[in-house]
Amino acid sequence: MANIISDETIEYVGILAKLELSSEEKEVAKKDLADMLNYIDKLSELDTTGVEPMSHVFSAGNVMREDVVTNGDGSEDTLSNAPSRKDDTFIVPKTVEG
Amino acid sequence: MAKNYETVIGLEVHVELATKTKIFCGCTTEFGGAPNTHTCPVCTGQPGSLPVLNKQVVEYAAAVGLATNCTITQDCKFDRKNYFYPDNPQNYQISQLYLPICRDGHVDIELEDGTKKAVRIHEIHMEEDAGKLVHDDWEDVSYVDYNRSGVPLIEIVSEPDMRSAEEVIAYLEKLRLTIQYLGASDCKLNEGSMRADVNLSVREVGASEFGTRTEMKNLNSFRAIARAIENERARQIDIIESGGKVVQETRRWDDNKEYSYAMRSKEDAQDYRYFPDPDLVPVHISDEWLEEIKSRQPELKPEKMVRYKEEFGLPDYDIGIITDHKKLADIFEETTAICNNPKKVSNWLMGETMRIMKEKNEDPENINFSPANLAELIEMVDKGEINGKVAKEVFTHVYEDNIEPKKYVEEKGLKMDDNADDLRKTVEEIVSANPKSVEDFKSGKKQAMGFLVGQVMRASGGKANPQMVNQLLSEILLNM
């Protein structure tokens, strides 16, 4: 079944992804997303009765580390990415608690 | 006629775990470092970095689950919760939605009036904390420090089983005590290592459906929680009584102004689009591992209470107070192990220790004296080396500066004076200097005796053996 992405959906997905799309871009995105969903829908044709839902592609499990400090002061590397900084902090546009 | 309303409350409690390192990287969790010094590519969400789970986080989370009667999910995994906010550099928080590590537990609480009740736990999941934002007072900017980003948390989600602020606080206190006993967190509300969000709704008494709930954030003390609950209950009843509808929303409590306001941010779509984190493989807690964690569970308050009664024969009242703080219980056990005098240790803890603590507005957590010094003081009183009054004075120095009582008493010359000849002389002097009191005593006023004892004690600089003073005084007065 062919999927159709509505104008409301593309608007909403844009908000979630923090993207501002022009009306031409929206049309392209609508078509691309519909194509992707159609492609994924192939899976629905498969009979999965009795198959456990898979949580992960790898068979490995329990990859863990001991609780030992291995990292030192990483502030210079971390802050080298800051578009703007004040002393040792990143500066961002003011956020309201939320 | 006014209707009767019932308050329905469920809690989401976040607890910072006491691990040395963050949940997915080897950065320290130490509090108070210079901004961004405790960061690396993993906890700042750099492309290509890979998180590796801290084993201790799983063990602490399972330990809390076991202590709160939960079922441990032996095959659990992590999911991504997607949202944009500057305190969250990955643009998603690693959390657990589909298979949280613990489920279906309960915490038994007891109220002032003796009512007992079980508060059910829906689930406990592991997740990472976010960074810290500081808002500039003058400019339109915020400053970001990622030291806290990736610090391990557990979130304990209760069922909506509580009906009053009193029940909420009893539940939180029980939870805090349990987690402190486990050593999984210090659970300080004022420092944010324990944070409670209150989900509250009201409904008419007898109604079978729940009302619409709100979520209250920013509650930093038990007092703030109690006030916010009363305030929110009244607010919701007002809305309903005036014909309105409660809106499901998140509100922020302002404890100074004693009111809450709705938190709204622009384009606030509550759509987290959870999905399994492909960077983290599933966690399997084998039967053996689970048994190992169980075998390491320390003694908790209920078992301690039984043991204190059997092993030390302490009164229930003492047991209740001492086991109410892990620190007090630890000091009690260590001191008793040295001086083997449980009731006297208990008396010092409940009496002088609590008194000084109250005076200084401190917590048992602040206690710094070593059990060896308290034990030494108790032994000195037992052997009659100092009297009770001097002992109390010495104890204030033990509490404040952890001094060694023996050394201190010697240096200050506070040893109990039981030289009978000297004392007899002092008593005789006091008796002849206070004829009025002697007369009072003879005419049957027994209080006069107390006055004379006091005078002798003062004359001896507080060092006289009070029993000897009493004995000598009676002897001299009766022979007069």
Question: Residue B133's closest CA among B220, B36, B37?
Answer: B36
In Å, how far is A72's CA from the nearest CA of chain B?
7
Search chain A and give the residue with CA nearest B53: A64
pLDDT class for A98, splitting at 50, 70, 90? Answer: very low
pLDDT class for B260, splitting at 50, 70, 90? Answer: very high
pLDDT at A96: 64
Above 80 in pLDDT, residue B283?
yes
Both tokens of B461, joined, read: 């600089």
**Where is the domain boundary, B268, B289, B310?**
B289
In Å, how far is B90's CA from the nearest CA of chain A?
13
How many Å apart are CA B2 and CA B450, to the nearest integer? 62
Q: How would CATH label the architecture of A7-42? A: Orthogonal Bundle (1.10)
Range of the domain at B463: 420-478
Both tokens of B417, joined, read: 């004076």
Above 50 in pLDDT, residue B431?
yes
User: Residue ranges of the alpha helices (H) in B3-131?
Assistant: 55-67
Specify if B112 maps to a domain: yes
In chain B, residues with a C-beta closer than 8 Å to the C-beta of A11 are: none
How many CB atoms sit inside 10 A of residue B331's CB?
22
In chain A, residues with a C-beta closer than 8 Å to the C-beta of B292 are: none
How many CB atoms sit inside 10 A of residue B146's CB?
28
Whether B314 and B270 share a structural domain: no
Residues 6+ apart with CB under 8 A from B475: none
Above 80 in pLDDT, residue B74?
yes
Whether B187 and B117 share a structural domain: yes
Question: Residue B39's closest CA among B140, B132, B149?
Answer: B149
Three-state DSSP class for residue A33: helix
Q: Which one of B149, B281, B287 makes the best mutation probe of the A interface by having the most chain A beta carbons within 10 Å?
A: B281
**Where is the domain boundary, B289, B316, B335?**
B289
Whether B232 and B146 share a structural domain: yes
Above 80 in pLDDT, residue B132?
yes
Residues 6+ apart with CB under 8 A from B18: B60, B183, B184, B185, B186
Residue B37: exposed, middle, or buried by beta-carbon count in 10 A (0-12, 13-18, 19+)?
A: buried
Q: What's the alpha-carbon Rg for chain A, to the nearest Å?
A: 22
Using an 8 Å Cβ cutoff, are B341 and B309 in contact?
no
Considering chain B, what is the average pLDDT of its residues?
A: 90
pLDDT at A1: 55
List the CATH number of the domain containing B431: 1.10.10.410
pLDDT at B442: 82
Whether B379 and B428 share a structural domain: no
Q: How many residues does this entry show for chain B?
A: 480
Instruction: Give the DSSP H or E segment for A85.
Output: strand A85-86
Specify if B80 maps to a domain: yes
Please give the single-letter amino acid code of residue B207.
Answer: A
User: Residue ranges of the alpha helices (H) in B309-445?
Assistant: 316-322, 326-339, 342-348, 354-359, 371-382, 388-401, 405-412, 420-433, 435-442
Beta-sheet strand order (sheet of B92-95): B92-95, B79-82, B275-276
pLDDT at B409: 85
Question: Residue B62's closest CA among B328, B299, B321, B290?
Answer: B290
Both tokens of A4, joined, read: 């159709």
In Å, how far is B93's CA from the nearest CA of chain A?
15
Specify if B313 maps to a domain: yes
Specify if B144 maps to a domain: yes
User: Residue ranges of the alpha helices (H) in B83-164?
Assistant: none
Q: Do B36 and A67 touch (CB under 8 A)?
A: no
Q: Which one of A9, A11, A40, A90 makes the best mutation probe of the B interface by having the most chain B beta carbons within 10 Å?
A: A90
pLDDT class for B269, splitting at 50, 70, 90? Answer: low
User: What are the pLDDT digits (tens) for A23-82?
Assistant: 999 999 999 999 999 999 988 888 988 888 777 777 778 899 999 999 999 999 999 989
Three-state DSSP class for residue A3: coil
Is the CA virtual torsion B267, B271, B274, B275 positive or negative?
negative
Whether B403 and B439 share a structural domain: no
Residues A69-97 have a mean pLDDT of 89
Whether B403 and B429 share a structural domain: no
Q: How many domains does chain B have?
A: 3
Both tokens of B99, joined, read: 């298979």
**Looking at this predicted complex, what is its ipTM?**
0.87
**Where is the domain boundary, B289, B322, B337?**
B289
User: What are the pLDDT digits (tens) for B9-22?
Assistant: 999 999 999 999 99
Is the CA virtual torsion B120, B125, B128, B130 positive or negative?
negative
Specify if B294 maps to a domain: no
Search chain B and give the residue with CA nearest A70: B26
Whether B186 and B123 share a structural domain: yes
Question: Dihedrals φ, ψ of B267, to 5°?
Answer: 45, 50
Q: Do A62 and B281 touch (CB under 8 A)?
A: yes
In Å, how far is B146's CA from the nearest CA of chain A?
9
Both tokens of A31, joined, read: 């078509």
Above 50 in pLDDT, residue B123?
yes
Beta strands B250-254; B214-217: pairing state: parallel
Whether B353 and B389 share a structural domain: yes
Q: Do A94 and B136 touch (CB under 8 A)?
A: yes
Half-sphere exposure in the Cβ direction for B150 (13 Å, CA) = 30
Between B48-57, B185-194, B303-312, the lowest mean confidence (pLDDT) is in B185-194
Whether B96 and B215 share a structural domain: yes
Whether B237 and B347 share a structural domain: no
Search chain B and give the residue with CA nearest A54: B276
Specify if B115 maps to a domain: yes
Half-sphere exposure in the Cβ direction for B331 (13 Å, CA) = 26
Whether B252 and B362 share a structural domain: no
Both tokens of B421, joined, read: 């000849």
Give pTM, 2 decimals: 0.81
